[in-house]
Structure 1
Amino acid sequence: MADDWRTHRVDEIRALIKQAEPDIVEETKWRKPSNPDGVPTFSLDGIVCTLETYKDKVKITFAKGASIDDPDKLFNASLTAGVRRAIDLRENDRLDPEAFMALIRRAVAANRG
């Protein structure tokens, strides 16, 4: 991935995830020829979220998003999926750091449920 807005956004999101839950573990999963870098996956008592980069967006998919309260309405993708929910961020989209970290904490709590 070129050093562009997506690189910086991924770094920002990764830092917020680690700040929200210092014990979270990042692994790379699902490497394949079409995606040799794989998918960064963040886990704590189960998968919390994945972080994928596309041509026009960065996508954060919460494994159990459908069961997580989202009072700040951060979820804007996969809204009809049975279990997961996602946040799609395009170049100029703003992400509220405090609301995002609270969402990460609620996702971990759902895993511990």
Structure 2
Amino acid sequence: MKKFITGIAIACFVLLGMNTIAAQSLSQDSQRPEVIAKQEVADISADLSLSGDQERSLFRAYVQKEVNYNKDVTGKDQKNAAVMAAKKKYDDQLSAAVKKVLTPEQYKKWQAKQK
């Protein structure tokens, strides 16, 4: 009987420990560039009626922007000239990629949504 109770107690501790590990990985995943880009594209797709090819292209552009932001902008002094220049550069790259993918009407709607 004692071994049975000990076994149940160990099983409970293992299950509780696994829940904690899963919760930590979910909070870390929400900051990944792919997750952020997917959410951005989903928001845009609903408003602009994007095709599958447009969604894939925009997803890649947004992932690239997020990776660059994480490398050179996020967590740094936003008033620093170098950080401001990097942010402008990456925003311009995103804008160019979006303009290349979207139709002129979609691009106008996208620009209006960005401001």
Give yes or no for TM over 0.5. Answer: no
Which has the greater radius of gyration? Answer: 2
TM-score by length of 2: 0.28
Comparing both structures, which one devotes a greater share of its residues to helix? 2
